[in-house]
Chain A
Amino acid sequence: MTKLSYAFVALVACLFAGTVSAGVEVGDQGPNFSFDKSWNTPEGFTDLDAYRGKIVMVERWATW
């Protein structure tokens, strides 16, 4: 293999490692995020931190 392809393999490995370590696990603090648009949310709530004090279920979904 050429040096370049070694570099490529290393890069892919890094990307893969990054994907695996990412994400929120039980015990972690849930990162905040702001809403581009919202439906049925309490008035004035524009990001996740607004929900502190409640139990909040973040659900990722898609129409497909």
Chain B
Amino acid sequence: MSGVPHLQELHDKFNSKGFELVAVSSEDAGKIQSGLIDAKKVTYGVVRADISGTYETRGIPHSWVLDAEGKCIYKGHPSGVTAEKVAEWVANLAPTTVDKELHKDLKGAVKSFEKGEMGKSQAEISKAVEGTEDEAVKADAEYLQGLIKKHIDLYEAKMAKAEESGDLVTLGKTLTEASAAFKGSELGDKWAGELKELEKSDEYKDTVKAQDELDKIKDKLEDMRPSSARSKLEKIAEKYPNTPAGKEAAELAKRYPD
């Protein structure tokens, strides 16, 4: 438990910027309460859960850092999660809370923003600044718009990257998420339209189906007979030869020779 001060420091510095700690123990709740919560007065997130089946059991303490999409971006000793690293990770996040008190006319807009309803928030900002001469409202409206802009930029960057690498699964997911967040705005409509077009294309349909089928068997390959694993992978590769998952299946199949 010598790592507690380090973790507390990370929490204090970065929690308001979108960094969350989930310290997991499978010990008795009473032991966690007395040994960590009471004795060390930690304020970061602590949970009782048994994750030994999914996140490996060997070596305690051990840590994993997941990004906004739930993908693992670090695995190792907690001391390796430095303030520099966390600063870099949270810089890529779009803010989900407003970290200062804004003018009361923007209360609704702030609420919508924190709920992730960006389109609604934008409409409420426009309404609040309409015809106002109050400079404080204008300045705060601009600040909130800046936070929303960060979401737009991140969505657009993600879409551009997915398009460039031909990752249609990510493109579809991002368009779905973005059009929902900006529902009711021009931009939201534009993204919804793009999603509709994408969903119509055969290439997209195949890509999603191939990924689904591969995901379904991927974790079970090790438990299958090699010949069975190979034939299942080859089937996906044959059915969807031009999709990323199809190509991955073809590669994986090579691991299970006759």
Q: Mark A residues whose CB is within 8 Å of B.
A: 17-19, 21-31, 33-42, 45, 48-49, 51-63
Decide: A41 and B45 in contact? CB cutoff 8 A. yes
Q: Does B90 contact A (CB under 8 A)?
A: yes
Those of B4-59 within 8 Å (CB) of chain A: 7, 10, 14, 18-25, 27, 29, 31-33, 35-37, 42-51, 53-56, 58
Given A58-B24, A59-B78: A30 in contact with B37 (beta carbons within 8 A): no
Q: How far is the CB of A23 from the nearest CB of chain B, in Å?
A: 3
Interface of A is mostly: loop
Cα–Cα, bound, A29→B170 (Å):
14
How many Cβ-Cβ contacts under 8 Å join chain A to chain B? Answer: 173
Decide: A29 and B25 in contact? CB cutoff 8 A. no
Residue of A nearest to B69 (CB): A52
Binds A, one of B60-68, B118-126, B160-168, B191-199: B60-68
Q: Nearest 8 CB-CB pairs, A to B?
A: A23-B56, A63-B35, A35-B47, A31-B54, A30-B66, A41-B45, A37-B48, A39-B46
Decide: B55 and A31 in contact? CB cutoff 8 A. yes
Residue of A nearest to B77 (CB): A59
Q: Does B100 contact A (CB under 8 A)?
A: no
Q: How far is the CB of B198 from the nearest CB of chain A, in Å?
A: 22
Which of B42, B51, B90 has the largest number of chain A CB atoms within 10 A? B51
Q: What chain B residues lie within 8 Å of A41 (beta carbons)?
A: 22, 45-47
Residue of B nearest to A63 (CB): B35
Given contacts A34-B49, A40-B37, A51-B66, 6 further A-B contacts (CB under 8 A): A29-B72, A35-B48, A42-B45, A54-B18, A57-B21, A59-B62
Size bin of chain B's contact surface: 35 or more
Decide: A24 and B54 in contact? CB cutoff 8 A. yes
Q: What chain A residues lie within 8 Å of B1 (beta carbons)?
A: 61, 63
Decide: B45 and A26 in contact? CB cutoff 8 A. no
Q: What chain B residues lie within 8 Å of A26 (beta carbons)?
A: 72-75
Q: Mark B residues whose CB is within 8 Å of A.
A: 1, 3, 7, 10, 14, 18-25, 27, 29, 31-33, 35-37, 42-51, 53-56, 58, 60-75, 78, 81, 86, 89-90, 93, 96, 116, 222
Cα–Cα, bound, A36→B63 (Å):
19
A–B pairs, 20, beta carbons within 8 Å: A19-B58, A23-B56, A24-B64, A26-B75, A27-B72, A29-B72, A36-B49, A41-B47, A51-B22, A55-B19, A56-B20, A57-B21, A57-B65, A58-B24, A58-B64, A59-B61, A59-B63, A59-B78, A61-B61, A62-B61
Q: What chain A residues lie within 8 Å of B66 (beta carbons)?
A: 30, 48, 51, 55-58
Decide: A55 and B65 in contact? CB cutoff 8 A. yes
Decide: A33 and B54 in contact? CB cutoff 8 A. yes
